[in-house]
Structure formats: C-alpha cells, structure tokens
Amino acid sequence: MSGGVLTDPEPVARSLPAGLHTWWRMLVICLEERLAYRSDFAIGTLMRFLPIVTQVFLWTAVFAASNRSDIAGYSRDNIVAYYLLTMITRAFSSMPGLAGGIARSIRDGSVKKYLIQPVDYVSFLLASRVAHKVVYYIVAIVPFAIVFFVCRGYFPAPPDGLTVLAYLLSLVLSFLLGFFLEATLGMIGFWFLEVSSIIFAYMLLQYLLSGHMFPIDMLEGIPTGLSGVSLADVVHWLPFQYTAYFPASVWLGKIQGWDLVLGLAVEVVWLVVMVLVCRLAWWRGTCRYSGFGG
C-alpha cells in the first residue's frame, strides 16, 4: 500500500483459482474506495465509542435504584462487559446502508449494470462489506484496545481456548448472517418502490430482539400464550440473537457445552437459509425487473 492506494493486486489475483479472481479484484477496488475517505471514516468510527460512558452510568444507576446485586443473572460488571462485547459483535454484524442502498439502486435503475456485466451483484456487495469491515477494524483497533483495557475490571477471567474459538466462529457467522439478512431485505425493492418504512421496522425489531438493548435473558418469564414457553425461548430460535447476544454470551460463559454446540448449529442453519432466500429474491426480482433509459 502506498499513499493510501493498494499496490498492484495482479500477482495475488493470478495465484488464486479462477472462480476467486473476480471476487479478489472487487475486494481490492472496494478497499481502495474506503481508504480514499479514511479521515471521514475514522471520525465516524471514533464517535461510536461515545455511548460506552452512557451505558456504564445507566446500568450503575439501574442497579443502585433496584438495590439488587444481579438482574436476570447479570451483575453490574457483567452487564457492562456484555454491552462492550455486543459492540464488537455489532461491528461485525451491522450493515449500515446496505438494505437501503440495494433498494435505491433498484429504484433508480443503477442495478441494471450488474445485469449486463460479468459481475455478480451479491458477490460485489459482499466484497464491499468485507472491505468496509477490514478498514473499520484497522481504524478502530486502537480505540477498542484502549476501551477494553480501561474497562478490564468489568470482565471475568478469560475463557478457555475452545470457547475463544467458538466465539471467533460466532463473530464470522454473525457477519455473514447480518449481511444476507439485510441484503434480502433490500431486495424487497424489486416488489415495492419505497421500502424505507419496512427497513425502519426491521431495524427496530432487530435492535430489540438481538440483545443489543439488553440481554435476552431478561425476557425470561414473560409469557407468550404457549404453555411453558417464554418470550426468551421464542427469541432464542430467531436469527436476530446471533447479531449481538450470542457471541457476547459465549465469551462470558453464559452459553456452554451442548447449548453452545446447538447454538452454533442453529446459526449455521439460519445462515444457509438466508443465503438461499437472498439468492432466490435476487433471481425472482431480476426476472420481473425492467430497466429503461441510459
């Protein structure tokens, strides 16, 4: 890399299998695009750390007002550690602007260039998001390290090696699941001209049910109308928890043993389902799509 521009990617591209050559070039182009606006990107990244102080004060006040040492099995330190860990998960799984960008490209007709060029639209979007996350963590690694060092007293002892591997796997899966969830949502634009209200409703539902606002364990005991089934039981089977709650709970030791294996298996199943749904939505949408003009 020289002057913010990647060096010639051809040597690497030539060493890759033919099927990955195009994807690698798309990734390099997306990285160069992100790095072209790195100052603005850095400022936006740093601003995301400001809510941490608010959360620490908020939960300190909640525990002080309740006169309890724990809530739903979480102490104040557990809650703060949980929130910091969900920030990492959300940094992987959140896809700001993806669904809206897809819907907009369908509405204004710019999506048609992917129908006449040998570039797969979904693969291009995935490469773009990988580039986004790479640049994000290059910028955010130092602030994250500082924050976690300052807040190290809130965390329990580090987990064992297998748990760490399961945590890292859950982060990778959360990225892929978050991408295909939002990409599928954006492709509703093939059927509806305006999807901003649908996207807003989805983001609100996802924020509440992912565990980003509060741990899903706090929903235990809330009835659903089904015998012996609480709201938390229902939420645990939905894909949303894997975009915030699940990886954080794995690191904190809230999910262990066969529950951890089952959780990862369900996450993989949801990922496969969303990949298939996304591809089906793209195929059916392009079959009915009509692009006019230049």
Q: What would the DSSP string read from start to end of 175-202?
A: HHHHHHHHHHHHGGGGT-S--HHHHHHH
Residue 10, in any domain of the structure: no
Q: What is the pLDDT of residue 261?
A: 95
Beta bridge partners of 71: 74
Domain-located, residue 3:
no
Q: Name the residue with higher pLDDT: 188 or 226.
A: 188
Average per-residue pLDDT in the chain?
82
Average pLDDT over residues 154-176: 93
Please give the angle made by the CA atoms of 240, 246 and 247, to the nearest 5 degrees.
125
Residues 176-190 have a mean pLDDT of 94
Please give the C-alpha separations between residue 17 and each of 24, 104, 119, in angstroms, as whole numbers. Answer: 10, 33, 16
Give a yes or no: residue 74 inside a domain.
Answer: yes
Residue 212: is its pLDDT beyond 70?
yes
The reported pLDDT for the residue numbered 117 is 76
For residue 44, give Cα distances in angstroms to 7, 30, 49, 171, 286.
Answer: 26, 18, 10, 22, 35
- pLDDT at position 2 is 42
pLDDT at position 230 over 50: yes
Q: How far apart are CA 59 and CA 3, in angstroms?
A: 44
C-alpha–C-alpha distance, residues 89 and 79, integer Å:
15
Residue 5 lies in a domain: no
Q: What is the mean pLDDT of residues 139-161?
A: 84
pLDDT of residue 5: 45
Directed axis angle between helix 76-93 and helix 161-186, to 10°?
50
pLDDT band at 65 (very low <50, low <70, confident <90, very high): confident
Q: What band does 214 get if pLDDT is binned at 50, 70 and 90?
A: confident
In this prediction, what percent of the chain has a pLDDT beyond 70?
Answer: 80
Q: How many CA atoms lie within 13 A of 167 on its CB side?
A: 20
Task: Give me the pLDDT at residue 75, please.
Answer: 85
Output the pLDDT for position 4: 45
Strongest mean pLDDT among 71-75, 153-157, 244-248:
244-248
State the pLDDT confidence band at 160, using cuts at 50, 70 and 90.
Answer: very high
Residue partners of 45: CB distance under 8 A and separation at least 6: 136, 139, 140, 143
In this predicted structure, the answer to whether residue 262 has a pLDDT above a threshold of 60 is yes
Q: Distances from the Cα of 170 to the Cαs of 123, 128, 205, 251, 268, in angstroms?
A: 21, 21, 21, 10, 9
What torsion, rounded to 10 degrees, do the Cα atoms 79, 82, 83, 84 define?
130
Using the predicted structure, report yes or no on whether residue 55 has a pLDDT greater than 50: yes
Residue 9 lies in a domain: no
Beta carbons of 207 and 178 less than 8 angstroms apart: no
31 assigned to some structural domain:
yes
Range of the domain at 283: 18-288
Tens of pLDDT, residues 101-112: 999 988 888 888
Q: Is residue 1 part of a domain?
A: no
Contact yes or no for 24/9 (Cβ under 8 A): yes
Tally of structural domains, the chain: 1
pLDDT at 164: 95
Domain membership of residue 219 (yes or no) is: yes
Q: Which residue has the higher pLDDT, 226 or 126?
A: 126
Task: Give tens-digit pLDDT for 26-42.
Answer: 666 666 665 666 566 56
Is pLDDT above 60 for 10? no
